[in-house]
Structure formats: C-alpha cells, structure tokens
Chain A
Amino acid sequence: MASEVKLPRLGQGMESGTIVRWLKSEGEPVAKGDPLYELDTDKVTQEVEAEATGVLLKIVIADGEVDVGTTVGVIGAQDEDVSELLAASQGGNGGAPATVPDAAAPARAADQPRGSEPQSAMRDTAVSEIATSAGLAGERMKASPLARRMARERGVDLAIVTGTGPEGRVIAEDVEGAAARAPEPSAAPSPVTTSAPATSPTTDDVEVVELTSTRRTIARRLTEAWAAPVFQLSVTADATELVATREQLVALLREGETKPTVNDVLTRVVASSLVRHRPVNAHFSDGRILRFPSANIGLAVAAPGGLVVPVIRDADKKTIQQIAVARADLVSRARDGKLKLADLEGGTFTISNLGMYGIEQFVAVLNPPQVAILAVGSIEDRPAARDGELAIAPTMTMVLTCDHRAIDGSEGAEFLRTVKAFVESPALAL
C-alpha cells in the first residue's frame, strides 16, 4: 500500500518549508526512519525521516517552498501504480483549495487503512455518513471531532480544508485557518480583499476579530493613503454665526421637518469654498489631477461595520435644508448597513467631524483619490480676542490634510481662509 510523504509540521506556527534536496532518489528503497530529504524552515534546516518502509516511487516536489501537509513524495511497493493516488493528493492538497476532483475518491479511500487498526463496520458507516454530508460520497476524510464541530459551526466545508495533522487529518487549527481565509458569507465579494493571514495569534484571552470586507477595504485604502506626501494646515474660526444660522433655520421649520445640524451648515459653506478653489476639489489618480466643477462632499460616518463615507452630491447647489435631508437619509442607512455603492461613489472632498465627541482638533487621513480632507473639531466657548479685548466666543478648529502632489501650501491656505470667512459669515457663501 503506497503512502504519501507529506510535509510535516515541525513546530507550532510552521506553515511551510523549503525542500533543499532529496537524500534518496526515485526507485531507491527506503526504510522507516531513513533520512529522506533536507528541509529548510525559517528556524532550522533538518533531515526529515521516512515514515514508511518501501521504495521511493515518486518525488512529487523536488525542491522549493511547500505548504505543510502537501504531498511531496510517495513510498510504496516496487512497481506499484501511484498515479491515482497522486491525482488525488494534488487535488486535495494543492495550494489553491478548490473542489476535490472526483478521481480523488477511490484513490484516497484506498489509502486509508494504512495502520494495523482493524476498521469496524460501524466506523465505516459513521465516517462515510460524514463524508457524504460534506458532498464527497465514498471518500473518507480524516478530521478530528473538534475540527468537525468547528467546521459545522462556522460553515466551513471540510472538503476544501487541507489537513496538517498526522496522516493528513484535519485538525482545529486547519479549520480556523480556512475560516479566516473564507470570504464573508453575506458581504458581496470585494474586488480589493486581500486574504487574511492563515493563523492569528489566538493565545490567552486575546479577542480575535476577523476582518469584514468593509474593514479590509478601510485597511487597504488607508494604507494606500499613507503613501501620499501630505501636509496639514489648521485654522480656528469663530462659530457664533454658524451656530446662529442653524438656529434661525430651525426656528423656521415646520413640525416633522428634518432639523439641520451645524455640520450641515458647515457642509454648505465648505461646498461654496470648494467651487471657488477648484485645486482642492480634485482627484489625483493615474498621474493626473482631475478638478471638479461641483462639490460632492463625503461625510465620514461611524457605522457598525466600520467607517463609511457616503456622499452628498452637488452640495454647492443645495440649500442647507436639502443637505440636512440628504445627510439624515445617508446616515440612517449607513447605520442600518443599507448604503448602496452609488451612495459611496463620486466624492470630491471629505469632511470628518469629531466635534460631537469633544475632540478639539485632529488630523484626518487622506481619502484617496481625493486630494484633501477637512477634520473638524468641537465648537466650544473659548477665550478669543475681539477688538483688542479678551472675550469668550464659540470657536472651532479645522485641520486640512492636503496631498502635496496635487495641492501646494498656498492653494490649501487660500481655501482654508475662505472656509474661515464663510464660517464666520455664512451669508457670504450664498
């Protein structure tokens, strides 16, 4: 009975190893315990011993990096036909877990009763039942009871999991790895998902949070943003009029109408500033700068699944009340996870406001391909100089992060000066 030589796990955390060279050649007899090949891991180089006696019938992988559990060779009786066995093992253990080819079934089943333990009829029945439920009638799959339970609970198909336990048994760690690699069952597959690491450090009381596709997108985009050369400009504005404008608008509302927030007023005046300073209302992509005629302002919203930035279109052409209605709709759908892709596309500029948390001032990370983002702090009564006297006024600090590839300091400064002027006299923005 031929037996597969599988790359062993020589230490916890070992995922792969590099075969340096084989110490036996094809056709050469080997005894259990004979050094078979040299294996290089990230820690050591060592000789791996044969686990079976017979003839080295086939060297499947002569050298190079191999995942743990992969079949690298076959030991069996002289002249034994191992083609079916190899077809099976390549289907089941290859790097890309796809579906196991049907040819795998008979060969794998034939490989199973290697040990001397007699298999009772009862055990055969039980195992084949499980195999059937996994969609692989006739094939016997080795998986620990714990691995089976975890697979059941996490919706992992054992048929596509590569077992790294003894004799290729699927153990808990393998299911964990497979579950971490699997896409979110409900979320639409994102084109940008990079696969999560196969194993996470799950020791002690560490809470392991697998990335949702939203979170992965956030991670990828913000990491990309980090590559941009940015500079920050900050300005503090007197918000007395901004607050007063909002109060006047609220006073005119009818029962049941959406009340604008200070941020809605701010969105409107920033939109007016943007169309006056096109260099800031732009994208930087594919080595070009695209300057837009109207302001589509993204609002950073904390949704349950992570940060989202829905867009208020043509904010420069909308009334504050229209902005309020659009904002209320977007925020409520963001919290319910019901935003559509169209809600998130087309932004030309982003406002991130943490004022409601009492944050006085902060720096936001760029939202590419947009070239600038405005971080808005809290409006609070602070000491302010007014006509040469110390006075108390509601003020707020705004920090503009600019992509220096597209915007120069003076362009950013001019934009921010306009924003400050409009915040202090909102009527000018009309």
Chain B
Amino acid sequence: MPELTYREAVRDALAQALRTDESVFVMGEDIAEMGGSMAVTQGLLEEFGPKRIRNTPISEMAIVGSGIGAAIQGMRPVVEIMYEDFLTLSMEQLVNQAAKHRTMSGGQVKVPLTIRTQGGAGWSPGAQHAQQLEAWFVHVPGLKVVFASTPEDVRGLLWSAIYDDNPVVFFEHRTLYPLKGEVPTKLEPIPLGKARIHREGEDVTVVATGRLVHEALQAAEVAESEGISVEVVDPRTLLPLDEEAILGSVRKTTRCVTAHEAVIRGGFGSELAAVIQHGAFDWLDAPIERVGARFAPLPFAPAMEQWVVPHAEDVLEAIRRTVARS
C-alpha cells in the first residue's frame, strides 16, 4: 500500500474527483497559483486549469454563497475556507441557506457542496486562527460534519463528502497535514456515518476526534503498561453519528472518555456524553470523562498554548479516573 501524508491524501482525493467528474471544481482564497495557505491544492491549477481551480475574493460569505449557487445548478463544488475561524463569516450562507434549501424546497433543490476547512493549535497561531468549531455545525439540521484524523480516512471521507447530495462541512487539522500513513492503492470511499475503531480494549473507551485520536492512542499505550486496556474509537463523521459503534464499545468496556481539542463546554464531547449516558446507562461503571481545551481564547505564547489544549497526558489522567485509579 502506498504511503501518503494527510496533506497529499486530501490533494489526491480532490485530483481524482476532478479527473473523474467535470462537475467538480475547487475554489477558495489563494488556492490556485499559491496552492492554498496550507499547500494542499498545490499542482492542481497546472493539471486542471483556472476554470476549475479558482481563486476567490477575500469574502467567506461569497465563497460559500457562490458554492451553494453552483451546487444548486448541478455542480459539485469544493470550497476552501482558509481557517475554520473564518467560517464565522459564512454562517448566514451555511446555516440559513445551504442547510435549509433541500427541505424548504420540498426536495426540489439539492446542495451537494463540500466546505473544506482546517484549524487547530500547536504552532502558535493565536486565538483567531486555531479554533475547533466543529460542534457549532453539529447543531444544524441539514448539514453533515466530518472530521478526519488519518491520511486514509481523509481521502476516503472527502470523496464521499464530494459525492454526498447535502452540504458537508469537512474539517481538517492543521498539525496532521505532515502525518504519513498507508492508504489503499485504489481510493476507497468511506461512507459518512461510520466510526472507526483504532484500537480494541476492554476497560475503557476513548471516543476521540482529530488530533486527539493520536493523543488517545499514545495514552492507550501508556495505560496498557499500567494494566488498563483502552479502546480508541474515532467517529470520523460527527453528523450523522455512528451511535451504534460508540454505544457498542462503551457497553463492552463500561467506561468512557471523550476527547477533542475544542473547549469542553458545549463541545462535541458533551453531545457524545449525552448519547452514551442514554444509550448505555445500565452499562456505565463510572462517570463519562470529557477531555478538551481549557475554557479560554487560545493564547499565542507557546507555553500557554500547550497548557490550554489537551494532550495525551490529559487523556491518560481521564482514563485513570474512570477506572478509579487516580
């Protein structure tokens, strides 16, 4: 199996979709000649030309709005929002338009739009360029929300997002772009709404997303050496959510930790905790622990940034609490 970085995997999914299907095109700020601020779209302009790899003005509202228009007209646009912090500027288009057209038109209109974006701390981007806002969109009926954590997943999920007939907000994590991983030789679409069990365990389930999947896997290694067997599950798609897989895992292990980089309060872990306590109440042997960032705007100073966002040690501590060992 070939090895790709997470960045190359995103690019590969885009390129394959562009090659396969004339209705797919990509647009966003500086994505053409510059190849995007994260260098994800490098080389696409040369292969597919300026009509399909389009730079846009600096207006997130316009980027998403025009994407919606093209999607309604039968295209499958993939628009890039440079930082997910900037999604805030496109909320009207995303929440009030893209998410609503299909149902409000009685199914006459579909919006097969993919909104790619990225975020995440770990490189001192400061408070306005590294937030993790995925939970905001999980609250909106009509949207789908994806957060991929590995090269294989990001490629297979992006393909499925592009070919989904609904607007999909597709989150990538900034610090995962250089991450290498094996991918199938032939692109295999990964259905939206299917979780992935990264590691099987018996004592506690960690449901983690994005960067925290890798932190959870590290924590699981350490826990193993302490005699605690940890199962790590990545939902991959936050909306729709693979409740069956998550509940099945927690019913087996009887304990659960949720982990994401976003702040805990109102975070996706809170939704997971609610789903789990309801669906696995009689199986729970400990309170569900939530791991996430401290409730603060992300500091610029590297030491403070590290203190605010969660790491493997935080997941490990939570694991120990659930097995009553701290």
| Residues of A6-47 whose CB lies within 8 A of B | 9-12
Contact B254 A146 (CB under 8 A): yes
Closest-by-CB residue of B relative to A172 is: B285
With A12-B227, A172-B254 given, is the CB distance from A145 to B324 under 8 Å? no
With A12-B227, A172-B254 given, is the CB distance from A147 to B285 under 8 Å? yes
| Residues of B299-326 whose CB lies within 8 A of A | 321, 323-325
Contact B227 A146 (CB under 8 A): no
Q: Is A144 an interface residue (CB 8 A)?
A: yes
Q: How far is it, in angstroms, between the C-alpha of A172 and the C-alpha of B203 when the chains are bound?
A: 12
Contact A145 B325 (CB under 8 A): no
Closest-by-CB residue of A relative to B321 is: A166
Chain A residues near B321 (CB, 8 Å)?
A: 166
Q: Is A309 an interface residue (CB 8 A)?
A: no
Contact B325 A144 (CB under 8 A): no
Chain A residues near B254 (CB, 8 Å)?
A: 146, 172
Contact B285 A146 (CB under 8 A): yes
Q: How far is it, in angstroms, between the C-alpha of A165 and the C-alpha of B320 when the chains are bound?
A: 12
Contact B281 A145 (CB under 8 A): yes
Contact B227 A145 (CB under 8 A): no
Q: How far is it, in angstroms, between the C-alpha of A9 and the C-alpha of B323 when the chains are bound?
A: 10
Chain B residues near A171 (CB, 8 Å)?
A: 285-286, 324
Q: How far is it, in angstroms, between the C-alpha of A171 and the C-alpha of B282 when the chains are bound?
A: 12
Q: How far is it, in angstroms, between the C-alpha of A166 and the C-alpha of B320 when the chains are bound?
A: 11
Secondary structure dominating the interface of A: loop
Q: Is A272 an interface residue (CB 8 A)?
A: no
Nearest CB in chain A: distance from B282 CB, A: 4
With A146-B254, A172-B254 given, is the CB distance from A9 to B283 under 8 Å? no
Contact B325 A149 (CB under 8 A): no
Q: Is B275 an interface residue (CB 8 A)?
A: no
Nearest CB in chain B: distance from A46 CB, A: 14
With A146-B254, A172-B254 given, is the CB distance from A165 to B286 under 8 Å? yes
Q: Is B17 an interface residue (CB 8 A)?
A: no
Nearest CB in chain A: distance from B325 CB, A: 7
Chain A residues near B284 (CB, 8 Å)?
A: 144-146
In addition to A172-B285, A203-B202, 8 A-B residue pairs with Cβ atoms within 8 Å of each other are A9-B324, A10-B325, A12-B323, A12-B325, A145-B285, A146-B254, A147-B285, A166-B324
Binding site for A on B (CB under 8 A): 202, 227-228, 254, 281-286, 321, 323-325
